[in-house]
DNA sequence: GATATGATTGCAAGCGCTTGCAAAATAATT
DNA sequence: AATTATTTTGCAAGCGCTTGCAATCATATC
């Protein structure tokens, strides 16, 4: 039987040792009981759980992380805090992580006020998490190298993985964009335009190419292409105004996000444009809350955000345990929706 | 001089020991160098930093947390993933935390699909974070007790703290709400109404009381009061429709969030209501992105979100070090803004 | 130049848990 | 009943860092 060691309640925390003493087993057994390895007899399991509950014990995460080299923390890299779509990301990542007994840690990669030493922040953070969930955000080469070196699992969500080692879970951006081109064509649009956010982001590239190609097929011409740089209401509004200054403004727009679609739509609205006879079609992407505002009747490419995000999170967690499970690409379909 | 121990590169991770060996000092010194206690001579500091950099060392957070009992993690409890306002919360909490070399961990307290054993999740999570940042979300008594027991610091952001031990950082909700009452009165509104989200949330209570009292003063009557339960577009829309069924619908609304204001406004819009002569005033709260959509010209109570959130985060981190610094209440002013 | 003062450094004992290995207890097999 | 295969448990050695205490060094004081 377990030898009872002194119970030093050093800091008011109940430890596995305390539980072990009370039950009359070793810490090892208590540990195994909580790591759900299934190597504990049911009877002991019950006794331990009962005592643990009575004492209010729960395993110390830091100690566990140190000993096992797994923190049960996944990093969520985000740099877009403008689009309400990100809310779904936060929501479902955290929900799914918690469901699997993990937690999501927020890694804000948006560099405001020229933050200092963000490099070292990243380094410290990286070895703190078991894996990384990367969104549309920028993912530096240095970061990629570091992940590879530390053998961190990475899952890209929302766009195709550009890296051979990383899985990605995304929707068929090209196809969605092509659907928009078809729609605009059907609506009799004469001069289609594309408005993207960050021209370097993969999502933008994917949606642009899908759209442009189909437009070329349908119209035999290239659409007007603009990028706002960032996904932000004011920037979108500005670009909208700018479009109006063209000799022949477009009469159909595909914006890569609902936020841009909304802002553009506002800029083009008679009230702001002064052109009461001009009411172009505007289509967004994401089918977020914004596209559901009845005032806009915005057409938007719907994608199964919840499914996508939960799948990505779960997939990341799944791959943590196993040795080299090759990278996967899980793709969801998306579908243009419009009130018409 | 430090005795050189064997360097077992157990898992490809660079440890403080590795750095110490290379430099010719003890782990202790390396440790002190990274915990910025200022007990290391500049010369050694430089040498250590140089080697650490060369080797790509950064301290293992789990080990540090275990030894020092501080994880440099703060928990962000959220249950509203509908309002774009939450995005600012995520953004500025994470930014400020990272600025101070902390990280924010997302604690999704929204119970969807009747999650199992959320109690134990909370328990495990709680001892993982140094402090808690609580938003408008529900904060169970059990949780409060646990925080007290474990001596966790808690800062409430966005509303007054209901608990004597917790600091809070918020804006003057009563005053903001009173400003709305004044505004509606000035606009000649005859039948003012209040629409809140969660009737049990402190923010709702504060805003309601501020509004109701001022309305009573100004009109000598009580405004109509409705609560939607949750802060959600569809729910707000529904309540809007419901209002139209009243014999004499209100002609001025104060909604406790911009999201509700927008949804209500949509429901009341001639296009949806069928009443072209009915265009009531709708005022929101938060001055979020939604209130900036030009299509709505929504009046909204503006509050200094960034300041508030950064202050709350920083305050929380500040209090972690010190012994019992009494709870504080830091209040920011808010101000009704409207395009008129 | 001897002594006091303070700044640097190292030692060693943890922090609370995990895990490979081997012993003990139990069940299955002949 | 003896032997072998299984299932349960415990031992002990870490995981990589922090920190109180004491030793060492550099500098200031008389």
Q: Which residues of A touch B89 (CB under 8 A)?
A: none
Q: Do B106 and A107 touch (CB under 8 A)?
A: no
In this structure, the dihedral spanned by the alpha carbons of residues A37, A307, A170 and B234, taken in order and rounded to 10 degrees, is -140
Confidence at residue B298, expressed as pLDDT on a 0 to 100 scale: 92
Listed as ranges, residues in chain A with pLDDT below 70 are: 1-12, 112-123, 136-138, 273-278, 322-324, 340
Is A147 in contact with A132 (CB distance < 8 Å)? Answer: yes
Spanning CA of B255 to C1' of D11, the rounded length in angstroms is 65
Confidence at residue B277, expressed as pLDDT on a 0 to 100 scale: 66
Confidence at residue A5, expressed as pLDDT on a 0 to 100 scale: 45
Q: Which residues pair with A119 in a beta bridge?
A: none
Q: Which residues pair with A281 in a beta bridge?
A: A252
Question: From the alpha carbon of A28, which nucleotide's C1' atom is closest?
Answer: D10
- Token pair, residue A294, equals 């009845």
Q: Do A71 and B62 touch (CB under 8 A)?
A: yes
Candidate from B84, B90, B269 with C-beta closest to A106: B90
Q: Which residues pair with A273 in a beta bridge?
A: none
Q: Do B98 and A115 touch (CB under 8 A)?
A: yes
- Closest by CA to B340, choosing from B299, B288, B294, is B299
Candidate from B58, B88, B233 with C-beta closest to A120: B58
Spanning CA of B155 to C1' of C17, the rounded length in angstroms is 30
Is A101 in contact with A70 (CB distance < 8 Å)? Answer: no
Is A266 in contact with A237 (CB distance < 8 Å)? Answer: yes
**DSSP collapsed to 3 states, chain B:** CCCCCCCCCCCCCCCHHHHHHHHCCCHHHHHHHHCCCCCCCHHHHHHHHHHHHHHCCCCCHHHHHHHHCCCCEEEEEECCCCCCHHHHHHHHHHHHHHHCCCEEEEEECCCCCCCCCHHHHHHHHHCCCCEEEECCCCCCHHHHHHHHHCCCEEEEECCCCCCCCCEEEEECHHHHHHHHHHHHHHCCCCCEEEEECCCCCHHHHHHHHHHHHHHHHHHCCCCEEEECCCCCHHHHHHHHHHHHCCCCCCCEEEECCHHHHHHHHHHHCHHHHCCCCCCCEEEEEECCHHHHCCCCCCEEEECCHHHHHHHHHHHHHHHHHCCCCCCCEEEECCEEECCC
Confidence at residue A125, expressed as pLDDT on a 0 to 100 scale: 76
CA of B250 to nearest chain A CA: how many angstroms apart? 21
pLDDT mean for each 10 residues of chain B (340 residues):
44 85 93 86 91 91 93 91 92 94 90 50 76 79 75 87 87 96 95 94 93 96 94 94 92 95 91 72 91 90 96 93 77 88
Question: From the alpha carbon of B16, which nucleotide's C1' atom is closest?
Answer: D16
Q: Do B66 and A66 touch (CB under 8 A)?
A: yes
Residue nearest to nucleotide D13 (CA to C1'): A67
Q: Do A124 and B59 touch (CB under 8 A)?
A: yes
CB atoms within 10 A of CB A35: 13
Confidence at residue A113, expressed as pLDDT on a 0 to 100 scale: 46
Confidence at residue A124, expressed as pLDDT on a 0 to 100 scale: 72
Spanning CA of B4 to C1' of C7, the rounded length in angstroms is 24
Candidate from B58, B87, B110 with C-beta closest to A81: B87
Confidence at residue A269, expressed as pLDDT on a 0 to 100 scale: 86
Residue nearest to nucleotide D16 (CA to C1'): B63
Confidence at residue A202, expressed as pLDDT on a 0 to 100 scale: 87
Question: From the alpha carbon of B68, which nucleotide's C1' atom is closest?
Answer: D18
**B185 burial type by CB count under 10 A (0-12 exposed, 13-18 middle, 19+ buried):** middle
Q: Round the average pLDDT of chain B to a whole number and report it.
A: 87
Question: From the alpha carbon of A13, which nucleotide's C1' atom is closest?
Answer: C16
pLDDT (tens digit per residue) in A144-188: 777 777 778 899 998 888 788 889 999 999 999 999 999 999 999
- Pairwise CA distance, residues A53 & A51, whole Å: 5
Q: Which residues of B touch A58 (CB under 8 A)?
A: 120, 123-124, 127
- Token pair, residue A63, equals 């100690």
Spanning CA of B143 to C1' of C12, the rounded length in angstroms is 39
pTM given for the model: 0.89
pLDDT (tens digit per residue) in A48-99: 999 999 998 989 999 999 999 999 999 999 988 988 889 999 999 999 999 9
Q: Do B56 and A81 touch (CB under 8 A)?
A: no
- Pairwise CA distance, residues B72 & B61, whole Å: 9
Is A21 in contact with A10 (CB distance < 8 Å)? Answer: no
Establish whether the CB of A28 is closer than 7 Å to any nucleic acid atom in strand D. Answer: yes
**DSSP collapsed to 3 states, A131-197:** EEEECCCCCCHHHHHHHHHCCCEEEEECCCCCCCCCEEEEECHHHHHHHHHHHHHHCCCCCEEEEEC
Establish whether the CB of A47 is closer than 7 Å to any nucleic acid atom in strand D. Answer: no
Is A223 in contact with A281 (CB distance < 8 Å)? Answer: no
Residues with Cβ within 8 Å of residue B66, at least 6 apart in sequence? A60, A62, A63, A66
- Closest by CA to B280, choosing from B205, B187, B164, is B187
Confidence at residue A279, expressed as pLDDT on a 0 to 100 scale: 79
């Amino acid at each position: 039987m377990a030898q009872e060691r002194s119970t030093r309640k050093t800091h008011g925390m109940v430890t596995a040792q305390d539980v072990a003493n009370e039950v009359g087993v070793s810490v090892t057994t208590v540990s195994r009981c909580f790591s759900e390895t299934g190597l504990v007899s049911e009877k002991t399991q019950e006794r331990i759980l009962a005592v643990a509950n009575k004492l209010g014990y729960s395993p110390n995460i830091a100690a566990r992380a140190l000993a096992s080299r797994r923190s049960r923390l996944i990093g969520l890299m985000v740099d877009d805090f403008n689009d309400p779509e990100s809310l779904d990301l936060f929501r479902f990542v955290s929900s799914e992580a918690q469901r699997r007994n993990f937690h999501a840690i927020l890694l804000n990669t948006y560099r405001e006020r020229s933050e200092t030493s963000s490099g070292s922040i990243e380094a410290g953070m990286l070895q703190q998490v078991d894996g990384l969930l990367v969104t549309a955000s920028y993912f530096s080469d240095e970061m990629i190298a570091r992940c590879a070196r530390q053998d961190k699992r990475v899952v890209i969500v929302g766009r195709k993985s550009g890296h051979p080692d990383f899985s990605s879970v995304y929707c068929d951006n090209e196809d969605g964009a092509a659907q928009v081109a078809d729609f605009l064509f059907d609506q009799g649009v004469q001069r289609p335009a594309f408005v993207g956010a960050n021209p370097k982001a993969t999502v933008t590239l994917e949606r642009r190419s899908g759209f442009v190609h189909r437009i070329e097929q349908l119209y035999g011409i290239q659409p007007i292409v603009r990028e706002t740089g960032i996904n932000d209401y004011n920037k979108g509004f500005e670009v909208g105004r700018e479009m109006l200054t063209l000799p022949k403004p477009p009469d159909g727009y595909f914006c890569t996000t609902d936020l841009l679609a909304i802002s553009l739509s506002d800029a083009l609205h008679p009230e702001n444009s002064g052109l009461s006879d001009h009411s172009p079609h505007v289509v967004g992407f994401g089918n977020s809350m914004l596209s559901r505002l009845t005032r806009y009747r915005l057409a938007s490419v719907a994608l199964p955000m919840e499914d996508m995000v939960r799948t990505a999170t779960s997939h990341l967690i799944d791959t943590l345990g196993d040795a080299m499970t090759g990278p996967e690409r899980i793709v969801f379909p998306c579908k243009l929706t419009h009130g018409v």
